[in-house]
Amino acid sequence: MNQPPLDQERLRALNTAGTISYVLHLIVAIGALVPGGQMGPLLLIVALVIDLVKRPEAEGSWHASHFRWRIRTVVIAALLYAVTAPLWFLFIFPGWIAWGLISIWFLYRIVSGMVRMNQGLAMEFAA
């Protein structure tokens, strides 16, 4: 599907939506690493909904890669948390380590995405 070139106003709107989404993801990522600081899945769901709703508007722009990046990050993290959840019931310490590592990975992806978006760069690397 051919999209018309994005005007500056639309690019600003995409940047605003992306910034809001990244900030919400960042709050969740930091909260996941701070004991008792979990902000709950609500903020993550809000960010994911923003990304899913705004993603079609980003088609044909460098912002599209950021929407894809954030959506994939949430989906992969959710799968990793689900797969490692039994560790909490069987062995608490390995569960804590697994979730800590997943949370660090999640934080890395969010920060690297934010930095690249603020530089006006697409997310060029896979997944």
Q: Tell me: the pLDDT tens digits for 21-62?
A: 999 999 888 887 777 666 667 888 999 999 999 999 999 899
Contact assessment for residue 59 and residue 102, using Cβ atoms and an 8 Å cutoff: no
Task: Look at residue 126 and tell me whether its pLDDT is greater than 80.
Answer: no
Is residue 125 a part of any domain in this protein? no
pLDDT of residue 4: 54
Is residue 22 a part of any domain in this protein? yes
Q: 68-118 pLDDT, tens per residue?
A: 999 999 999 989 988 988 887 877 778 888 888 998 999 999 999 999 999
**Domain range spanning residue 93?**
9-118
CA distance 113 to 96: 26
Is residue 127 a part of any domain in this protein? no
CA distance 15 to 104: 25
Query: How would residue 1 be classed by pLDDT, with cut points 50, 70 and 90?
Result: very low
- Which of these, 2, 26, 22, lies nearest to 14 by C-alpha position? 22
Give the total number of structural domains in the chain.
Answer: 1
Q: Who has greater pLDDT, 69 or 8?
A: 69
Is residue 67 a part of any domain in this protein? yes
Is residue 18 a part of any domain in this protein? yes
Is residue 43 a part of any domain in this protein? yes
pLDDT of residue 39: 64
Is residue 69 a part of any domain in this protein? yes
Query: How would residue 5 be classed by pLDDT, with cut points 50, 70 and 90?
Result: low
pLDDT of residue 15: 94
Is residue 111 a part of any domain in this protein? yes
Mean pLDDT of the 7-31 span: 91
